[in-house]
Amino acid sequence: MIQELSQAIAEMRLVQFVYKGELRVVEPHMLAHNERNHLSLSAWWTDGYSQSRSTPYWREYLLSEISGVQVLSGTFVQPRPGYKRDGGSKFHDILAAV
């Protein structure tokens, strides 16, 4: 899964996966450890289940909760507003980044 997500980030391709039992589609931007040292995917949510919002926005997904990763043919052309390539204060030990 790490290799698939890293490749999708490098190619700026959309990814679909199941997170906590619900389907999500995202623009993956970074694979890194969060402030609690959990390996996480930082991504711009575009479609699928969301408990809190109906419009695209930033989300963090714990890799331990992701299954059924599929790299899609769709792409995105640039990082979304607010993206911090260095991880900012939230992420460290970056494995892959746009």
CATH code for the domain in which residue 22 is found: 2.30.30
Grade residue 48 by pLDDT with cuts at 50, 70 and 90: confident
- Neighbouring-strand partners of residue 61: 41
Q: Tell me what the pLDDT averaged over the chain comes to.
A: 94
CA dist., res. 58 & res. 73, Å (int)? 21
pTM of structure: 0.92
Residue 7's domain spans which residues?
A: 2-97
Other C-beta atoms within 10 Å of 43: how many? 25
**What's the total number of domains in the chain?**
1
Average pLDDT over residues 31-47: 96
